[in-house]
Structures are given as C-alpha cells and as structure tokens.
Amino acid sequence: MEDDMNTCLHPCPLVFDLDGTLIDSAPDIRAAVNEVLAENGLPALTLAEVHGFIGGGVEVLWRKIIAAKGLSPEDHARYVAAFLTRYEAATGLSALYPGVTEALETLATRGHALAICTNKPLEPARAVLRKTGLDGFFRVVIGGDSLPVKKPDPAPVQAALAALGADPLRPDGIYIGDSEYDASAALAAGVPFFLFTEGYRHLPVEEMTHHTSFSDFKNLPSLVEKLRD
Ligand SMILES: O=C(O)COP(=O)(O)O
Ligand SMILES: [Mg+2]
C-alpha cells in the first residue's frame, strides 16, 4: 500500500485545496469577519489571527473566533449567517500565489484532470475562482457545503477524485493543500499529499504528514512528474 501511494500512473487526477493553497484569501475573509464583528460592536481581528482560524470552513472559523475572543457560543449561528451574506462578494482582496496560473497551465497541458476540494462554501469558492481567472481549469469543484461532511473527512477528496474518473478502490491521484485538514483528508483517502508551505498551516512542516512539500508553484509540475516514476 505504501508503495502504491508513492506512485502515480499516467497523467493522474490532481485535486487542489483553495484557501491558502492557490489563493491568498485571508484578507477578504478578515474583512468580512471584521464587518460582522463591527456590526456587533466587537473589536477587529488581525490578519495573523485570521490565518490561525482558516481551514475548517465557516462554522469552524466562527467557533474559533468565539473561543479566542470569549464571545457567546449562542451567537454562533447568527455570526455565521451574517458572514455568509458577505462571503460571495468578498473577492477583491484575494490574490493568487505566484506561479499558480503557469503551473496549472503546464499540468493541464500534460493531460492532468484538475479539481478543487475546498472547505469554503461552493458559491464563494466559484466566485473567487472566476475573479482570479482560474475557473476554466477545473472540471469539478467540491465546496465545504457540497457534502454533509468536510475535510478532514476524506469523503470530499474522494468525491473530487471520483468525479475526475479515479478508481474508488485504488484511487490514483494527488491532493495538494496547505493545512492539517488537507493532510488528514488525503491520508484517509489513500492518496499522496503535497504540502504547499506558504499557506495557513498551524504546525511546522516536519510535524505534518506529507509526501512532499513545496514553497513555489514553479516546482509543482516536476514534483508531480517525479511521482510517476
Ligand atoms: O475556508 C476555509 O476555512 C478553508 O478553505 P480551504 O479548504 O480551501 O483551505
Ligand atoms: Mg487551505
């Protein structure tokens, strides 16, 4: 099994995380969070605080804000609802990490089928993909609200791989992401995890389970090639 996980036949399916992997979206998430906090007479979060809270999706984001700031858990649903009304429009401050478009072009040209599997809800995910010009690359987008469960559950990664035609019993593909949620989901789905180190991970790289790591997207196509040998 270990050997199987370390090879990738043909141009294998590639599934990408979104926030902190392809797109630095924390400034938009922070702006929308701070609008909700301001509306409730509460102080703003710093960008560093927001980095620490991203990864598990909107409900987890607000659970973490509530815990860190000593807010009332009873207000969770109200904060989430207010945030969601702003999330789809929150794309103006998001930026692609350097080299993302070129790497996706190279991988698509080599015949890899590409999908997104994000814990961000589907509509905001689609909106930011359109805004950054990436939407045309992906055959499938699985959002945080596409299934009843989110990463670290493997089901969303498995659904993305299946939609790209991977064999569910012996999934052939790679999951590329930035967080602990991604590492756990890939491990449980039985596919190698490629860690982008410049996103919003909460642990040192050495403490995260991963097949390989990279800090610059220009290195991704050759790392993917290497797995095929
Ligand atoms: O929105 C989040 O909390 C995480 O989104 P991601 O799965 O694309 O990193
Ligand atoms: Mg991420």
Q: Is 178 annotated as a binding residue?
A: yes
Instruction: Give the homologous superfamily in CATH for domain 26-87.
Output: Putative phosphatase; domain 2 (1.10.150.240)
At 151-172, the pLDDT tens digits run 999 999 999 999 998 887 777 8
In the chain, which residues fall in CATH 3.40.50.1000? Answer: 2-24+94-228
Cα–Cα distance measured from residue 59 to residue 80, given in angstroms and rounded to the nearest whole number: 7
Average pLDDT, 10 consecutive residues per value, the chain (229 residues): 54 96 98 98 98 97 98 98 96 97 97 97 97 97 98 97 86 94 97 97 96 98 87
Q: What residue type is 188 in one-letter code?
A: A
Q: Which atom from ligand 1 is nearest to the alpha carbon of 61?
A: 3
In the chain, which residues fall in CATH 1.10.150.240? Answer: 26-87
Instruction: List residues with catalytic annotation.
Output: 17
User: Considering the domain 2-24+94-228, what is its CATH architecture?
Assistant: 3-Layer(aba) Sandwich (3.40)
> Distances from the Cα of 74 to the Cαs of 39, 96, 134, in angstroms?
17, 36, 38
Cα–Cα distance measured from residue 125 to residue 172, given in angstroms and rounded to the nearest whole number: 25
Q: Which atom from ligand 1 is nearest to the alpha carbon of 199?
A: 9
At 25-54, the pLDDT tens digits run 999 999 999 999 999 999 999 999 999 999
> Distances from the Cα of 179 to the Cαs of 3, 108, 118, 140, in angstroms?
24, 24, 11, 21
Q: 4 CA to middle of ligand 2, Å?
A: 26
How large is the ipTM? 0.99
**Closest ligand to the CA of 53:** 1
Residues with CB under 6 A from ligand 1: 17-20, 54-57, 61, 118-120, 179
